[in-house]
Amino acid sequence: MLKKCFFLFIGLFVMSAGLRAQVPYAISGTIVNKENGEPLPYASVRLKNHPIGTVSNDDGAFDFYVPKSKRNDTLSISFIGFNSYEVPLSAVGEFLKIGLSPSVNVLDEVLLTEKSPLDYIKKALERMPENYPQEPYQSLAYYREKFIENGAVINKEEGVFKTYYPEVADSSKNKHQLLLYRPEPDPQQFQFMREWFEKKQEKRKKKAIKNGEEFDEDEYDSDIDMDLGGPESVIDLDINNERDSYLDPKYFSKYEYSFGDETWLNGERLVTILFKAKRKIDHKKDEGKILINTEDYAIVSIEQKGKFSIPFIVKPILFVVGLKIGNPTFSTVINYQKFDGKWYPELFRWDANIMLTKKHTFDPNENSDINIGQVFFINELNGEALPVPEEKVFDSSEDMENQVFNDLNLEWNGLNIIKD
């Protein structure tokens, strides 16, 4: 489920013209922990009665564009483990600073004696048909991927997607259509071992000229492939279709499960199930927590983190070339939102870090701190689903810029995206 590139490296739907023509108004703000002032990243900012929203950025800041026809709705802000905040839009100014109060309690002893952690997980898996949408629906969603080396943005791509989710009984996969795309306007060059690559390229060029051959610069591009798998690699983490090993009964014996603190989301009580792998599974060892609603047994959120292991067969090769790769660390967050009694995907986030070192005998060693991240959040939902035409289905193996089909005539200005 996690990115294979690591080992190589080592609307929404069709909406009425009238609604889309309306100019939205903007609400800006920051969301912090009321007790200590720390920002709350990726907090949910939504309308209470309509499936439209956004999320805060790493600093807790957000811009939320609301259609004018929804001005009579209520702004709802939530973050797992904190009391939610609601205010009528009519009472909201242009800027808000919102402090959410933590809401964490020790799990009731009654619950501890009634069920084991695995009982909750098994019940959650059993109740999926009741808790998650089984009929087709569509979403409008924002996607971003970043590749950062030593603080410099090497690559950044953003997109807005219309995604068609077929009924669960249908064997076909989710289908995406790219509506908008924009790359990083001023990307930096990847620096790790650049000097070595450029020297090798110069030697190839001189040899080609000497032999009277043509030299293709692109054939020996010194930059690494920064394709992270595209949006399908995160949006298809939907547990209706694909589950990681900690939710797979055949792997239950390979994990330790325990209770964490009880918490809340939008007034609904959640039980926390902690999981931790006893040993490596498929070159990784992970741990995390699963938050399950105590009323309907829906899985509301999953947080996972861990380390990849560099395959043993690769290590001698790295040693010979003087290259050291620290075991990559990763984290995954999957959040769901409740609407009309069903839990829909809301946020998919994947981040990873890896340290690269090239040892030199006489010169200083080269070091690169690599951060890779993807985020996909759904900012609108629609139950009136229309399949994406085959000729417009997004293909992650192809360049994003060549696959834009903006049927909804969207523009970046006024869209709910993650604020920079």
**Structure-block tokens of residue 175:** 């289908």
Q: Which of 363, 362, 359, 337 is nearest to 348 (CA)?
A: 337
Q: What is the pTM of this model?
A: 0.84
Sorted by sequence, the CB contacts under 8 Å of residue 169 that are 6+ apart come out as 134
* Residue 296 predicted with pLDDT over 80: yes
Compute CA 57 distance to the chain's CA centroid, rounded to the nearest angstrom: 12
* Residue 108 predicted with pLDDT over 90: no
Q: Which residue has the higher pLDDT, 1 or 19?
A: 1
What amino acid is encoded at 145 in this protein?
E
Look up tokens 């070159």; give the residue. Answer: 283
355-366: pLDDT as tens digits: 888 887 777 888
Residue 116 neighbours by CB distance under 10 Å: 14
What's the DSSP call for residue 318?
H
Helix, strand, coil fractions of the chain, as percent rounded to 5: 20, 40, 40
Q: How confident is the model at residue 326 (pLDDT cuts 50, 70, 90)?
A: confident
Could you give the count of Cα atoms lying within 13 Å of 286 in the half-sphere of its Cβ?
23
* Residue 22 predicted with pLDDT over 60: no
CA–CA distance, 32 with 52 (Å, rounded to integer): 22
CA–CA distance, 85 with 63 (Å, rounded to integer): 17
